[in-house]
Structure 1
Amino acid sequence: MFDALKWIAGAAAAGAMIAAPAWAETRVTYKSAKAGTSYYQMGVQISEAMKAGSGGDIIVTVEEGQGSVQNVMEVRARGGDYVFTTPPSLVGLAQGGKAMFEGKGDPAFDEIRALFPIPSLTMHFVMSEASGVKSFADMEGKTILLGKGSFGAREGEKYLGLFGLEGKVNIADAELSNAVAALKNGQIDGFVTAGSWPAPNVVEAAASTGVTVLSLDDDQVAQTKRTRLVIPAGTYAGQDADIVTTSLPVVAYATTKMDDETAYQLTKTFWENKAKMAESAAWWAGVDEGLMSTITGKIHPGAIRYYKEAGIALTEGQM
């Protein structure tokens, strides 16, 4: 009887050892942007980094998103395995039931917690060298492609108004996907785009036709009420000086439904593998501790544990 009990205990222990890897595996859904965009590609890179950095213990499935607002709205029906990206300002609007969230408030929004920042949406005003445009004032009478319906298009239109150019530039009726070709053949003098930097379409335009990416002065940055961002000299072909522009911070979020250990491991693995991601995609080089200040709401307790271990200062509001 004693031997039988020993055999059962040994078998149970062996079974537990065999089963342990399956128990240790954490599966997460990462919802970002539409397939084909730089932000969807970032999601793929994060997925690969999480798998490699955790030795296969963290499996991230990338899910196509239909926009930042929708990503926030889905919090209402998602569980603890849901990670999504959105600007911090939208989380604040959701929690306050304001703007596009008016009449759509939900207690689930109050449970949103930040994990880590990702590359910011960065404004680029891209003018061809042939246009001779070196400043916003020079844009008068020129033909500009803004695109349609995107953050960059709305922001670009806003800036034209702020800087006294409303009605003084010709707005091309075309999709942003045609911008580089239109610039090459002289159909337009410039285009406006918002995305991570280096922006693939700006890289292509700079290498193929030569461009000037306009800088904003301090007064212009203040007028936009956006976050100041500097694109370092040499980012684009022919760019011999820093570009001062504006950005909209973007952050990866979860909710309090996610357990602290998972949030800790996701955050730790992200930061420890960010440099390696930057080797294959330069936009990750723009993510550093300085972006932590753009997180205006609360951070997940599991992520806070990592930041304390790493000696990264947090504000009282983030705790």
Structure 2
Amino acid sequence: MSKGRRIRASVAVAAAGALALSACTPPEEANGPGDEADDTQFLRLATGSTGGTYYPLGGEIAQLWSDHVDGVSVDSFPTGASVQNLRALEGETEDEEEGQIDQVELIMAVNGVAMQAQEGSGPFEDQPLENPDDIAFLGNIYPEVMQVVTLADSDIESIADLDGANVEIGPAGSGTEVAARDILNAYGIDPSEDINAFDSAFGDAATALGDGQVDAAFGILSVPAAGIEETSATNDVRILPIEGEEAEELQETDESYSLMDIEGGTYNGQDEDVTTLTQWASLYTTGSLDEDTAYELTRVMYEHADELGHAVGDQVQLDSALDGQGPMELHPGAERFYEEEGLL
């Protein structure tokens, strides 16, 4: 199988001032009686943890929508990411800062986890969604690249070498944890028995790796990943390849995966290109979102992507919007946009 899309790592880091996190003012406080803006549609976007990519990037996307979609105001908030967000489309979810959120119309999630939610497999096998077919796909945001990192001076040179190691596999229910278990199993490693598994968020996992507390860390992350950059500033790192028969097996069983190269020089100590797997950070809603709003949200995200200040903003590309869609149904509004753009 030939290597898939190549990604050129950018060293640009978004300035703190560019992270325009949206804040939704309650409707009763926003306008006085009779104000035309009383008809504003208020939507909420569930993102991810404050230390990851979803939260700051989701804040910028929410602001982009609020600025460019007439009659719409979008508020973003931090969550436990993919699994929690998919469940949030059906009911209440927990905001890390505000407590219970009663209604969520938009979410960010890893495409592979969304497919599992629809199929009732993986983390949804014991507690499936009530209406999994109501999940509607809007489009991809950026590549979610599986990066398995260890220190360059370690004896670990492949996924198979993780047998018996101390390994950070991601928070329970996260896209990282779901994919890490799949990958370890493909290499004949039982994550429940053959490794000492830890479940830190990647920022803490990278710190533990740098401090020598763990041997390796899995992370579904944008490229370059800030946590890996910080670790490689003081310790050369090695990115473990995921290729060959194991990668082919994973792609055959899960169509959300595709191959991607992380270019040599992306991190200190990683001098050669490394082939790994990527999924996609994608946007989902439900069929209850009206068609015109879904159309405008989709259109604005791609037509105004150049206004995003986040380091992965330039990876929001129309030509990859439908990669790895798999069996997920497009929202009719998004479908209309893609038809107009000649992608369908």
Tell me if both proteins adopt one fold, taking TM over 0.5 as the criterion: yes
Q: CA deviation at 1:126?
A: 0.7
SS of 1:127's equivalent in the other structure is strand
- Residue 88 of structure 1 contacts residue 251 of structure 1 at CA under 8 Å; is this kept in 2? yes
CA distance in 2, matches of 1:32, 1:205: 25
Separation in 1, partners of 2:164, 2:127: 43
Q: What residue number does 1:8 align with?
A: none
Match of 1:190 in 2: 216
**TM-score when scaled to structure 1?**
0.74
For 2:118 and 2:188, the matched residues in 1 are separated by 35
Give the Cα–Cα distance (whole angstroms) in 1 for the partners of residues 220 and 150 of structure 2.
14
| Residue in structure 2 matching 1:300, options 304, 320, 331 | 331
Question: Secondary structure at 1:294's aligned position in 2?
Answer: coil
Distance in 2 of aligned mates of 1:84 and 1:67 = 9
Between the aligned partners of 1:178 and 1:19, the Cα distance in structure 2 is 47
Distance 1:133 1:96 in 2: 35
The corresponding residue for 1:29 is: 44
2:299 aligned with 1:284: no
Normalised TM-score (structure 2)? 0.70
Q: Does 1:204 align with 2:230?
A: yes
Other-structure match for 1:40: 55
The match for 2:186 is 162
Stretch moving more, 199-208 or 149-158: 149-158
**Which has the greater radius of gyration?**
1
The aligned counterpart of 1:131 is: 154
Contact 2:140/2:320, CA 8 A, preserved across alignment: no
**What is residue 11 of structure 1 aligned with on the other side?**
none
Residue number among 127, 152, 166 corresponding to 2:176 in the alignment: 152
- Aligned-residue RMSD, C-alpha: 3.5
Q: Give yes or no for contact 2:46–2:76 (8 Å, CA) kept in 1.
A: yes
Q: Which piece of structure 1 moves more, 232-241 or 295-304?
A: 232-241
C-alpha separation in 2, matches of 1:283 and 1:161: 30
Provide the rounded CA distance (Å) in 2 between the counterparts of 1:21 and 1:180. 45
Structure 1 unpaired stretches of 5+: 1-17, 315-319
Instruction: Give the direction of change, closer, same or farther, for the CA distance of 1:202–1:50 in structure 2 (3 Å limit).
Output: same
Matched letter for residue 171 of structure 1: N
How far the C-alpha of 1:240 sits from its partner, in A, is: 3.7
Distance 2:258 2:323 in 1: 12
Would the aligned equivalents of 2:89 and 2:106 in 1 still touch at CA under 8 Å? no
Equivalent residue, structure 1, for 2:279: 248
What letter corresponds to residue 320 of structure 2 in structure 1? G
Q: Cα deviation per residue 1:166-212 (whole Å; 9 max; x = unaligned)?
A: 69976375745443333334344432222333222112112221111
| 1:71 equivalent in alignment to 2:85 | yes
